[in-house]
Amino acid sequence: MMPKHCFLGFLISFFLTGVAGTQPALESLKPQRVRFQSQNFHNILQWQPGRVLTGNSSVYFVQYKMYGQRQWKNKEDCWGIQELFCDLTNETLDIQEPYYGRVRAASAGSYSDWSLTPRFTPWWETKIDPPVMNITQVNGSLLVILHAPNLPYRYQKEKNVSIEDYYELVYRVFIINNSLEKEKKVYEGTHRVVEIEALPPHSSYCVVAEIYQPMLDRSQRSEERCVETP
């Protein structure tokens, strides 16, 4: 029979070996690159699988909180999911407040530690799309009508606001003479209807519009829209 002190040492050794064996496995299960991606205040939490290639056997659990809060909240729609993203737009509606998100993974009954995002403030970090542009020809001129990007439906329904209520936006309009391959800025300001006058007939032009955010020194430029004058 094994002496009592030897048996106790065996148990301790067995336990420590088991813990040491499971820790690397759990660490490799932990989600990677957890971060918010935000476009026009659509705030999506995204992540990559851990180093273990578990395929469809992994499921993920998402929590969130506002900076300063002690308690994490479960995102019920993203609890035990297989996707690598979670829409937290409705949970991050106060756009000037900072938030955190975190994700953990589970596979075959094992759970990873939580992976935490950097601090995320929607007002500062969201990317604003270029303006939507409509062009109409009127008596040899081009009438350019600009539309700011749409906010998520919840903002529009509850607050009846546009993206211009959150930022000072400056619109810029450029015209490109295709024959000369030369670009010219024809407007900069806050109006969303711009008339480009006195264009020579039978000429080909392309128009580009841009939204500029002076406070953040950021701009987003639209694709070219090309027309020919009659």
Check residue 8 and give its pLDDT.
41
pTM of the model: 0.79
Residues 79 and 62 sit within 8 Å (Cβ to Cβ):
yes
The tens digit of pLDDT for each residue in 145-164 reads 999 888 876 665 556 678 88
- For the stretch 83-116, pLDDT in tens is 999 999 999 999 999 999 999 999 988 999 999 9
Report the pLDDT value the prediction gives residue 56, as an integer from 0 to 100: 64
Q: What is the DSSP string of 15-71?
A: HHHHHHHHHHHHHHHS-EEEEEEEETTEEEEEEE--SS--GGG-EEEEEEEETT-SS
Q: Using CA of residue 180, residue 181, residue 187, residue 191, what is the dihedral sign?
A: positive
pLDDT at position 174: 96
Domains and CATH numbers, the chain: 22-124 (2.60.40.10), 132-229 (2.60.40.10)
The answer to whether the CB of 103 falls within 8 A of the CB of 62 is yes
Strand partners, 142: 137, 196
